[in-house]
Amino acid sequence: MNIRAFFAILLCKLLRGLSRLLHRGGTAMPGRWALRICPSLPALLARDLKIVAITGTNGKTTSSRIIEEAFSRAGLNYLANRSGANLASGITTELVMNSSLTGRMKKEYAVLECDERASSALFGQLKPQVIVVTNLFRDQLDRYGEVTHTLENIRTAIQGAPEATLCLNADCSLTSSLALDLPNPVVWFGIEKGAMPSRPLPEISDATHCIRCKTAYEYDYVSYGHLGGFRCPHCGYRRHPADVAVTEVVEQRMDGSSILLSLRGEKHLVNVNLPAVYNIYNAAGAVAAVTAMGLPAETAIQALGSFQCGFGRMEQFDLGQAGAKMMLVKNPAGCNQVIEFLQNVKEPFVLAVFLNDRGADGTDVSWIWDADFEGLQALGGRLTEVIVSGDRAGDMRVRMKYAGIPDGRIRVERDYARLVDWIAGQEKPVFLMPTYTAMLELRQAVIHKVGGQEFWEK
């Protein structure tokens, strides 16, 4: 080991210690400094690790938690960047905190969530055994640019790890195009035709035209967003059959789903411990990854029924008489899935939406107009109260008004502590929809009230 790496590790550990003394997370900053001193540090530390890397637009965190649960059930000695710090800095911090001063790793395996933009520099260093690409949707245009640019980033990233097994979403025409010109072995996951009722392609689809020849796609079925049985009538590019295939969505509940999962021909009835269709995809992708790592399918399937995600992803809090559920939203595709979930709530409830426009949320809030808040109208009287909050509460109030919620029924409340106190006195269930930075603050306010763990303690 060279002297630069030694000092990088030392500094990283010191900065982390200092952060914790100051009651801060210190999840990204120490790694940022370490990388400045020794840019090749991740490669050095990852040398003997067996890594699963998870990237894509939506579902990275949930997929990582399922994979972790499987690793933990299998008794593997692993590390994971659980705090959501998924840039090179956060991943480096996590690696350093699991290594000795001389760079010897204390763990054998790693579950690493990688930002879809940061991955380009990382995969070449980490050389993961398995790379999961969950999906690709338009997301925070001001940060990421067009979705095809993100796709190119990921493609370049994977070129740095030609040996890695890819777990690709077969139903996403953008994601699955990665297999067109990469030599990596691929395990496909997806939801089969007829597994659930097909829905119309949404008005705003993030991939209307063939990634190869720019002809408009045709669809056999749509599961959500642009995901489904796509095919190009011109060049023949089409959905690849799935190896890990959801053949039937048996039941969708408020706390999870039951699905029939076909693994290379063998069928399993599986319980997924989080609700909504997008988590069924996360489940299938995680099973693909866990089995690609050589663990038994049984372990992956048990993990689906027992994993806990937390951190604002359909996270349930004992707040108010009927509880509060926090559902992070970041972009139209994910937001539409949450709205669809709300449409299935049978009892009257309160909805609070928190819109921030800080760096990690995306500074451009136009995306709220692409999300189908009009879908809330279908709830009728079940939606008893709408609260808007966050730095851009005003924009959210206007969006709700134009979505058909009378302005008189929309309440603006910017003070999280006061809002949490109010929720604590509610008899009805409360659903909280925050963007990323709003989630961090709101979660702290909720935890302050009801107890729980800070994000870096999970």
| 368 lines the binding site for another protein (CB under 8 A) | yes
Contacting residue, 364, 415, 421, 454, with another protein by CB under 8 A:
364
If one asks whether residue 397 binds another protein (CB under 8 A), the answer comes out as: yes
Interface residues for another protein in 211-250 (CB under 8 A)?
214, 216
CB of 339 to another protein, least distance (A): 16
- Judged by CB under 8 A, the residue of 4, 212, 358, 401 near another protein is 401
The rounded distance, in Å, linking the Cα atoms of 337 and 433 is 12
Q: What 8-state DSSP symbol labels residue 57?
A: S
Determine, following the binding rule CB under 8 A, whether residue 260 of this chain makes contact with another protein.
Answer: no
Contact call for residue 148 and another protein (CB under 8 A): yes
The one-letter code for the residue type at 294 is G
CB of 398 closer than 8 Å to CB of 407: no
Q: Is 255 in the site for another protein (CB under 8 A)?
A: no
x/- map, 311-350, another protein, by CB under 8 A: ----------------------------------------
Contact, 189 vs 242, CB < 8 A?
Answer: yes
Q: Helix, strand or coil for residue 255?
A: coil
Q: Does 209 bind another protein (CB under 8 A)?
A: yes
The amino acid at 274: L
Residue 413 near another protein by CB under 8 A = no
Any contact of residue 96 with another protein (CB under 8 A)? Answer: no
Cα separations (Å) of 56 from 130, 161, 431?
14, 16, 26
Q: Is residue 222 a contact partner of residue 336, using CB atoms and an 8 Å limit? A: no
Q: How many CB atoms lie under 10 A from the CB of residue 395?
A: 17
- DSSP secondary structure, 130-158, as one string: EEEE-------HHHH-SHHHHHHHHHHHH
Q: What is the number of other CB atoms lying within 10 angstroms of the CB of residue 168?
A: 28
Stretch near another protein under the rule CB under 8 A, chosen from 21-29, 117-125, 146-154, 378-386: 146-154
Stretch that binds another protein, among 43-51, 124-132, 183-191, 365-373 (CB under 8 A): 365-373
Site size for another protein (CB under 8 A): 31
Q: Does 204 bind another protein (CB under 8 A)?
A: yes
Does 366 contact another protein by CB under 8 A?
yes
How far apart (Å, rounded) are the C-alpha atoms in residues 280 and 263? 15
Pick from 222, 125, 265, 239: which is nearest to 174 by CA? 239
Of the ranges 78-86, 111-119, 144-152, 307-315, which one interacts with another protein (CB under 8 A)?
A: 144-152
Binding residues for another protein, rule: CB under 8 A, are 138, 141-142, 146-148, 203-205, 208-209, 214, 216, 363-370, 392, 394-395, 397-399, 401-402, 407, 410
